[in-house]
Chain A
Amino acid sequence: MIMPSISGLRADLAFIAHWVTPHSQVLDLGCGDGAMLQYLQHEKQCSGYGVEIDDDKIPRCVDREVLVIQQNIEDGLAMFADDAFDTVLCLSALQMMKHVEPVLRDIARVGREAIVSFPNFAHWPHRLSLLMGRMPISESLPFQWYDTPNLRCATISDFEDLAREVGLEVIDSVALSDAGEPVHVLPHWRGSQAVFRLRKR
């Protein structure tokens, strides 16, 4: 593994954490149990808030000393001022949104930079499944078509277009394998997760 998982942080998160500037103000949208923010607070002296809708995750964030605000991201980020954060994280959450574009615009409004990740629909096993006439089921998309929380399927190229449209410029992007390692050869085919580092244009 290229990026060892520190403090038990998932490999893909550990990779993404390297893109976050030490001592920065971070907003983590869909922060889950707060593992990422806890790591950033501990290892990189970052501060900020998590946003999470799931009831069960709120006490777990409290346990981790992560400041969490319970709300639906799609209700808008009116709670947060323009440019309030150095970095907005939206990791493995965007594909669950009904309205992706307004969420992305909100991210661009409240953050100077953003890091967005989502399952790459063009990952080769997915392409193969579709060729075989089936919706893909994989480690990154582990649900049946009829019960998946992932409402939006996008490829790396698709996302680039939308990011540009909402006023975000791609600083960096990487495709990660299921093991959380960067994929350098044929990333659009071989990456299961797409990660974008974006800046307001």
Chain B
Amino acid sequence: MQSIGHVTPQSIHFGEPLKLQSGASLSEYTLVYETYGTLNADGSNAVLVCHALNASHHVAGTYEGKPKSEGWWNNMVGPGKALDTNRFFVIGVNNLGSCFGSTGPMHTNPATGKPYGASFPVVTVEDWVHAQARLADRLGIQKFAAVMGGSLGGMQAMAWSMLYPDRIAHSLVIASTPKLSAQNIAFNDVARQAILTDPDFHAGDFYAHGVVPRRGLRVARMIGHITYLSDDDMAEKFGRDLRNAEYQFSYGVDFEIESYLRYQGDKFSEYFDANTYLLITKALDYFDPARAHNGDLGAALANTQTEFLVVSFTTDWRFAPERSREIVQALVNQRRRVTYAEIDAPHGHDAFLLDDVRYMGVVRAYYDKIWRHLQSTAPRKQREIA
């Protein structure tokens, strides 16, 4: 299958303030996004792809002159792929507070003339969705054929169905959860503490000091990474393999897994922003649509008109299948249209980013269905012309 080829990010500036769930507001902001495929005449074939913790608007394709810059869901999105860009107009958008172009902590706060740093307002999944809806307005999309995401991206797909029930036909919620567990929050807070206690963090204003809290970011990433892999997958990939043949009897690298995690941590600390990490983990922690309904997820989903595809992976212990089943159960109790696939993949939470015939097969069949629906509901005028 071919890739989408070279892509170019675009951006739109929004001058009207965005009121946030916290009560704060952003007076103005920019969203960076990419699009693939072509929007049809009636604007009905648009699919929004929402990113998770450390990804961005760069969903598919590569940047010119950078052959290794493949988008994070390049195996999913492209011509002839499960989400086929020959059929759909796909949008990847970078969320507020991120460090990949959309307005975030390293950008200048217009009120102070200095970088936001730690004063960047805490944003929630719902805030992101409202910002994404404004982007849709600008792009002339009244209703998405689908909103799709994995993990934190799946939370956005879910939130869309509740916040804009008439602006989304299908919601694809993959490897996600209706809320974080105490264990999930605990892992997030350990990661945050690693950053917050790094002397180079300077209460979030490290930009002014010309330093980066690398050690904190590194540990945060190492912890996160452990939760993305399954125990079996780690055992398979690394086992107790030693870097050198013998124990070193020191605190350097003995085991391959140590080497791998340190490498991942180092790489991450080169490009990721510490304030963004704090913000996004908070957005994860705060997501709990049932909270406003006394913990009743069904009640939270009662006004949705969306059809759902929910997918989970058996070895995902970060957002385990039980969490996805809670979503499905709430939808079934509300008599919503929902399809649920539980993929027996060995790769833990990361499985949602990887190729698996069964996983891709279900998503492909689902988009085929969406496409059939689009064909049958296309305005008569268009069909007559065709």
Contacts and interface: CB of A to CB of B under 8 A. Distances in A.
A139 interface: no
Nearest to B338: A67
Interface string B320-357: 00000100110011010111111110000000000000
Interface stretch (B97-105, B218-226, B230-238, B361-369): B361-369
Lowest 8 CB-CB distances: which A-B pairs, in order?
Answer: A59-B365, A62-B365, A69-B340, A55-B358, A70-B342, A59-B361, A79-B329, A70-B341
B369 A63 contact: yes
Interface of A: 25, 47, 49, 55-56, 58-63, 65, 67-71, 78-81, 84
B332 A80 contact: yes
Contacts of A70: 340-342
Nearest to B343: A55
Contacts of A65: 369
B332 A79 contact: yes
Contacts of B343: 55
Contacts of B325: 71, 79
A55 B364 contact: no
A62 B339 contact: yes
Nearest to A62: B365
Contacts of A80: 332
A59 B339 CA distance: 10
14 contacts: A47-B335, A55-B344, A55-B358, A59-B362, A60-B365, A62-B362, A62-B368, A67-B339, A68-B340, A70-B341, A70-B342, A71-B340, A79-B329, A81-B333
B342 A67 contact: no
B148 to A, nearest CB: 15
A78 B332 CA distance: 11
A39 to B, nearest CB: 18
Given A63-B368, A67-B339, A49 B332 contact: yes
A81 B339 CA distance: 17
B339 A69 contact: yes
Contacts of B341: 58, 70
Given A58-B362, A62-B339, A70-B340, 10 more contacts: A58-B339, A58-B365, A60-B365, A62-B362, A62-B365, A62-B369, A68-B340, A69-B338, A79-B328, A80-B332
A182 to B, nearest CB: 34
Nearest to A65: B369
Contacts of A49: 332, 338
Interface in B291-333: 325, 328-329, 332-333
Nearest to B369: A62
A100 to B, nearest CB: 23
A58 B369 CA distance: 13
Nearest to B364: A59
A70 B340 CA distance: 6
A63 B329 contact: no
Q: In the complex, which of the residues B340, B361, B364, B369 has the most CB atoms of chain A within 10 Å of its own CB atom?
A: B340
Contacts of A78: 329
Nearest to A78: B329
A71 B366 contact: no
Nearest to B308: A67
A62 B368 CA distance: 9
A71 B342 contact: yes
Contacts of A71: 325, 340, 342
A200 to B, nearest CB: 20
A65 B361 CA distance: 15
Contacts of A84: 332-333
